[in-house]
């Protein structure tokens, strides 16, 4: 979490630590006008490593946030948005939304401003930000690709502002005589449509009004006005046909959009939100969004979707399919991987297993990865993915190995890769990832591990990850323990290097739990892992 807090500071924001009750853990008023130092941030999250992150809002940080706590407030606000509205958005753990907007001094700080369930965070306020955890265990997360570093902050839409306060800033209801005369002159306008394109132009206008959701009777009035003021005038009797053509096109468009959304939902295997559907189908008008909402709620009634409790406009695809487990023909044989420090005396490794080595900085994560590659290169197809080492550093590391250079070249495939490893791993090989990182959003690491696991068949993945000092789990926390069957923590205490088995799912000895066993080791020449003593229980 400290990495994310530092990242926010480097983006010009003012992060402060908050507890599970969303209340600041420090005196924070001064950080409405100045950002904390890197030293302060590191001290805070050393003291409270599980604290969430809040950002002061208002003039100093340049952001005003509208916080929606109810589906009704969100739906009402969307009615007052321009078609091209786009701004960074955060989904809250309970399914609400935070809209990040350009700082606007006109908006007050407070709750239920203009609409019940709509709060405004501005001067004197703060907002919880990703990847902070909520009280229900869910995380705050950016919606789609709408992070504030990728989507510029929008100004407060004037129609929404008008809805909140029922007046335009600076508007005077008592127009003077010059204003009235000006309006009168403007009403005597002649609309110059060429006779050859009047049909097309009026149909286009009718189509836009239909798409915008204007009632048919109002569309009739608008087109009659335009027809009368054309030069030459357009026949009134043909107005109805233009509107009907526009309505027919709208109906066809609605059918096509409905089917597109249904196909999109049926191809998804995860949580879906209304806003994500809008984004993927580039829906901007009120009518298009209403069509999408109708489709989603209809699919709920059909049992295809179900609403996610306590989350606004969020749905889960109901998947009733199950793959049969062919246990009768399954092989019980272990994977023949070799691991250092006699780890295999304590645990078994099976096909499709993930092995994690979570290490503090500079304690030998790469040494473990290269050692495993070296000792298995004659047994397995090895694919080594490095996110940091370039060719020169890799060559200097391999020079210290006892394996000839040509053997390394012919037996191990070295690749440069830093993300989306699930796209490149070999399902039936030994895949070594050195290392997997997520600086901005560590809470996504667990999902990355799952995607890697889903791609494995008979192969395995050995994954190095960074972890903070004083903790066993890597960045991403205890959720990173879910998929790995072997999870080891590497640390240094004084001059001693230590490996601890945090999780060993498949016990070598059914009567002996390997979890918590520790073995010391020495690191020689950057690639040799030498045991220094026997396995022992960690002393509390």
pLDDT digits (tens, 9 = 90+) for 346-379: 999 999 999 999 999 888 999 999 999 999 999 9
On the question of pLDDT at 315 being above 60, the answer is yes
Task: Identify the burial level of 497 via C-beta atoms within 10 angstroms of its C-beta, where 0-12 means exposed, 13-18 middle and 19 or more buried.
Answer: buried
Mean model confidence pLDDT for the chain: 81
CA distance 137 to 285: 34
CA distance 393 to 408: 15
**Which residues are paired to 307 by β-bridges?**
315
> What pLDDT was estimated at residue 366?
93
Domain residue extents for the chain: 2-165, 191-317, 340-537
User: H-type helices in 365-480, by residue range?
Assistant: 365-376, 391-399, 405-411, 445-455
Query: Are the CB atoms for 244 and 251 separated by under 8 Å?
Result: no
CA distance 360 to 396: 22
Residues 6+ apart with CB under 8 A from 330: none
Span 191-317 CATH architecture: Orthogonal Bundle (1.10)
On the question of pLDDT at 86 being above 50, the answer is yes
Confidence of residue 174 (pLDDT cuts 50, 70, 90): very low
> What pLDDT was estimated at residue 529?
92
Span 340-537 CATH architecture: 3-Layer(aba) Sandwich (3.40)
> What pLDDT was estimated at residue 514?
96
On the question of pLDDT at 6 being above 70, the answer is yes
> What pLDDT was estimated at residue 168?
31
Q: Among 21-30, 49-58, 232-241, 489-498, whose mean pLDDT is lowest?
A: 232-241
Residues 6+ apart with CB under 8 A from 396: none
Nearest one of 509, 514, 512 to 486, comparing CA atoms:
514
Joined tokens for residue 530: 């030498």
CATH 3.30.720.160 fits 2-165, yes or no: yes
Joined tokens for residue 12: 């010009």
Residues 6+ apart with CB under 8 A from 268: 317
Confidence of residue 262 (pLDDT cuts 50, 70, 90): confident
Task: Identify the burial level of 195 via C-beta atoms within 10 angstroms of its C-beta, where 0-12 means exposed, 13-18 middle and 19 or more buried.
Answer: exposed
On the question of pLDDT at 486 being above 90, the answer is yes
Of the two residues 116 and 29, the one the predictor is more confident about is 29
Q: Are strands 305-307 and 118-121 parallel, antiparallel or unpaired?
A: unpaired
On the question of pLDDT at 185 being above 70, the answer is no
Angle formed by the axes of helices 365-376 and 391-399, to 10°?
70
On the question of pLDDT at 169 being above 60, the answer is no
Q: Are strands 460-466 and 430-436 parallel, antiparallel or unpaired?
A: parallel
Query: Are the CB atoms for 106 and 169 separated by under 8 Å?
Result: yes
Which element (helix H / strand E) includes 150?
none
pLDDT tens figures, 282-302: 777 777 788 888 889 888 888
């Amino acid at each position: 979490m400290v990495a994310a807090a530092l990242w926010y500071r480097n983006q010009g924001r003012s992060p402060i630590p908050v507890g599970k009750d969303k209340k600041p853990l420090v005196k924070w008023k001064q950080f409405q006008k100045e950002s904390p130092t890197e030293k302060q941030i590191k001290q805070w999250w050393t003291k409270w490593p599980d604290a969430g992150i809040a950002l002061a809002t208002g003039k100093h940080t340049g952001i005003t946030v509208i916080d929606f706590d109810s589906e009704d407030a969100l739906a009402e606000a969307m009615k007052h948005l321009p078609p091209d509205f786009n701004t960074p958005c955060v989904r809250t753990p309970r399914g609400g939304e935070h809209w990040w907007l350009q700082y606007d001094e006109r908006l007050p700080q407070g709750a239920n401003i203009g609409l019940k369930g709509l709060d405004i965070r501005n001067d004197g306020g703060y907002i919880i930000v990703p990847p902070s955890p909520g009280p229900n265990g869910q995380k705050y997360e950016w919606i789609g690709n709408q992070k504030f570093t990728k989507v510029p902050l929008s100004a407060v839409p004037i129609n929404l502002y008008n809805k909140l306060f029922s007046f335009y800033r600076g508007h005077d209801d008592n127009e003077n005589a010059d204003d009235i005369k000006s309006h009168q002159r403007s009403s005597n306008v002649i609309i110059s449509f060429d006779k050859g394109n009047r049909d097309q132009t009026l149909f286009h206008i009718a189509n836009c009004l239909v798409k915008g959701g204007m009632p048919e009777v109002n569309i009739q009035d608008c087109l009659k006005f335009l027809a009368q003021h054309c030069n030459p005038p357009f026949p009134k009797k043909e107005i109805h046909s233009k509107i009907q053509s526009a309505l027919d096109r709208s109906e066809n468009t609605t059918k096509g959009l409905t089917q597109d959304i249904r196909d999109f939902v049926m191809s998804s295997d995860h949580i879906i939100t209304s806003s994500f559907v809008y984004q993927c189908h580039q829906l901007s008008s009120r009518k298009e969004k209403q069509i999408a909402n109708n489709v989603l709620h209809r699919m709920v009634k059909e049992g295809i979707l179900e609403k996610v409790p306590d989350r606004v406009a969020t749905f889960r695809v109901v998947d009733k399919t199950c793959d049969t487990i062919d246990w009768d023909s399954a092989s019980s044989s272990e994977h023949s991987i070799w691991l250092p420090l006699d780890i295999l005396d304590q645990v078994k490794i099976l096909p499709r297993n993930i092995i994690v080595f979570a290490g503090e900085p500079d304690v030998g994560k790469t040494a473990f990865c290269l050692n495993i590659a070296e000792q298995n290169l004659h047994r397995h197809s090895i694919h080594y993915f490095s996110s940091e080492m370039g060719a020169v550093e890799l060559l200097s590391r391999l020079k210290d190995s006892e394996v000839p250079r040509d053997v390394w070249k012919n037996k191990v495939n070295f690749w440069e890769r830093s993300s989306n490893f699930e796209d490149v791993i070999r399902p039936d090989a030994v895949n070594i990832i050195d290392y997997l990182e997520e600086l901005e959003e560590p809470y996504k690491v667990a999902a990355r591990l799952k995607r890697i696991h889903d791609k494995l068949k008979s192969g395995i993945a050995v994954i190095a990850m960074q972890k903070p000092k004083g903790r066993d789990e890597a960045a991403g926390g205890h959720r990173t323990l879910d998929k790995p069957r072997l999870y080891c923590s590497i640390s240094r205490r004084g001059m001693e290097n230590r490996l601890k088995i945090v999780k060993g799912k498949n016990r070598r000895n059914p009567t002996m739990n390997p979890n918590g066993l520790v073995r010391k080791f020495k690191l020689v020449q950057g690639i040799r892992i030498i045991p220094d003593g026997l396995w022992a229980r960690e002393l509390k």
